[in-house]
Homo-oligomer: A and B are copies of this chain.
Amino acid sequence: MIRERHLFGPGPSNPYPEATRALAEPLLGHLDPEFLRIMDETCDMLRTVWGTDNARTLPLSATGSAGMEAAFVNTVHPGDVVVVAVNGLFGQRMTDVAARCGAEVVAVEHDWGHPVDVDRVLSAHPSPAIIAAVHAETSTGVRSDIAALGAGKGDALLLTDAVTSIGGIELRADAWGVDIGYAGTQKCLGVAPGLAPFTINDRAFERRVEKPRSWYLDLGMLGGYVGEAGVKGGQRTYHHTAPTAMVASLHGGLTRILDEGLEAVWARHQEAGDTLQAGLQEMGLELFAAEGSRLPELTTVKVPEGVDSAAVRTQLLDRHGIEIGAGAGAYAASVWRIGLMGRNARPDAVLLVLAALQDVLDRA
């Protein structure tokens, strides 16, 4: 028997009940007409949460990190210049993944905790093939201005990580000029980890690598897998066995979000984050992310001087069943990450995490 946790870290979050219930439904085969309907509806709902009309919008059959890999492996031709905005761990990771795909990487480094400096990124190279940036940096709790990058990208493709933003804050891939985007299911979409919601527009697809180094993530073949309109006449072709339980679960989570209304869900995240951040500051704690760029769904807070970061997290877990995250990279011991995502973006969760943190700090 597993003791229930409050998953208030940087992800996974506690799934929406609709997502969990779908996992317990009878399993369907990946070619079952009923499953194909679920897959079609899932792709449609993903278009809504991405803010896109892209035909090629689908859940890749692996976690968000594989979404990053799919984004680069399908679009980087050997020697392509890829400008990467690095303002946290996931920007850093992009440089590694892009380099493995043969890119000439131009990394634009930022201090962690600050948003992407759009001017520096846009002027980093005169004619990059791709400009890549993270919308919501999971490592620092910072939001960057993707729309401004899209407005200034010129002929480059704009590649965006939306792992921690999708389903939690405003995201408008088409309006912002995002050409390639990937995300995860286990944050604000409120579904267990295991799939990577992905979207690519025609402009990027036409420039893709014809035969990418990855067979599993080859978007040319995956078109047939989900049978999108316009791809092989909408015919389904077998590529790999879809993870049917996880897709059904994503369907459940997305249904819940769209029933509530996407803008209402964004507002719920904003309110929870605002209240949490005000409460933490009232407790005398200092926030890590730069003011004006703080994500509501993921709050970073500095560990007070003299407090053992790991001991506090262990106490929270053992006493109260609450998981919060350590900091990332160099900030592992000096920052906590508190996520109120998906189902957890609620007033009662805010009260609980504030009270529990106060309780544990009082005992320290």
A70: nearest chain-B partner, CB-CB:
B216
The reply to whether A216 and B62 form a contact with Cβ atoms under 8 Å apart is: yes
Q: Closest CB of chain B to A169's CB: distance in Å?
A: 19
- Residues in B with CB closer than 8 Å to A246 are 192, 194, 243, 245-246
With A2-B25, A27-B12, A245-B23: A63-B240 Cβ-Cβ less than 8 Å: yes
Bound state CA distance, A293 and B113, in angstroms? 61
Does A119 count as interface, using CB distance less than 8 angstroms? Answer: no
Contact partners of A184 in chain B: CB under 8 A: 241
Using known A-B contacts A63-B243, A184-B241, A192-B245, determine if residue A29 contacts B2 with beta carbons closer than 8 Å: no
- A349 on the interface (CB 8 Å rule)? no
B2 touches A26 (CB 8 A): yes
Would you call A65 and B23 a contact (CB within 8 A)? no
B2, B69, B193, B212: the one contacting A30 at CB < 8 Å is B193
Q: Which residues of B contact A62 (CB under 8 A)?
A: 61-63, 66, 216
Q: Is A211 an interface residue (CB 8 A)?
A: yes
Interface size band for A: 35 or more
Q: List 28 A-B contacts (CB under 8 A).
A: A2-B28, A2-B34, A2-B248, A3-B34, A5-B27, A9-B31, A11-B241, A12-B244, A14-B26, A20-B24, A20-B27, A23-B24, A32-B317, A33-B317, A61-B63, A62-B63, A63-B242, A66-B240, A68-B216, A97-B215, A100-B211, A100-B214, A101-B213, A184-B241, A192-B245, A193-B241, A213-B214, A214-B214
